[in-house]
Amino acid sequence: MTLGQYIAQKHTATKAAVVSGAVVIQGVLAIGDGAAAAFEIQDALTDTGADTLIFRVITGDTRLFDFTPFGGVTFKIGLSLTVTTGKCVIWTDQHQITA
């Protein structure tokens, strides 16, 4: 599988309920171009999910986390995003809100 077959959306700010309902995260691109990037993806409809993926990259670094080799990371409730700094691109099997 490749990331190109999934839905990609760039995010630069905290968003609740980026996806409502079950979603499979296939990849995450962490972008720390102007500053270090730090963000969390929660399995929740708010920023208080118990199951959380945490990403951090140093200033000037960009890292791709590709979960397709093992079928992605499944969230059952939804996907919320907390961005402390930087930006990211998330690939999922469901449409993501953009606002």
Q: Where are the domains of the chain?
A: 3-92
**Per CATH, domain 3-92 is 3.50.50.60:** no
pLDDT higher than threshold 70 for residue 49: no
Which among 10, 9, 7, 13 has a CA at the least distance from the CA of 72?
7
Which among 28, 53, 42 has a CA at the least distance from the CA of 77?
42
Please tell me the predicted confidence (pLDDT) of residue 14.
86
Q: By three-state DSSP, how is residue 69 classified? A: helix
Please tell me the predicted confidence (pLDDT) of residue 34.
81
pLDDT higher than threshold 80 for residue 47: no
Which among 55, 48, 58 has a CA at the least distance from the CA of 25?
55
* Spatial separation of the C-alpha atoms in residues 93 and 29, rounded to whole Å: 16
The residue type found at 38 is A
pLDDT higher than threshold 80 for residue 72: yes
* Largest Cα span, the chain: 34
Model pTM above 0.85: yes
pLDDT higher than threshold 80 for residue 77: yes
> How large a percentage of the chain has pLDDT more than 70?
95
pLDDT higher than threshold 70 for residue 1: no
* Spatial separation of the C-alpha atoms in residues 34 and 24, rounded to whole Å: 29
pLDDT higher than threshold 70 for residue 15: yes
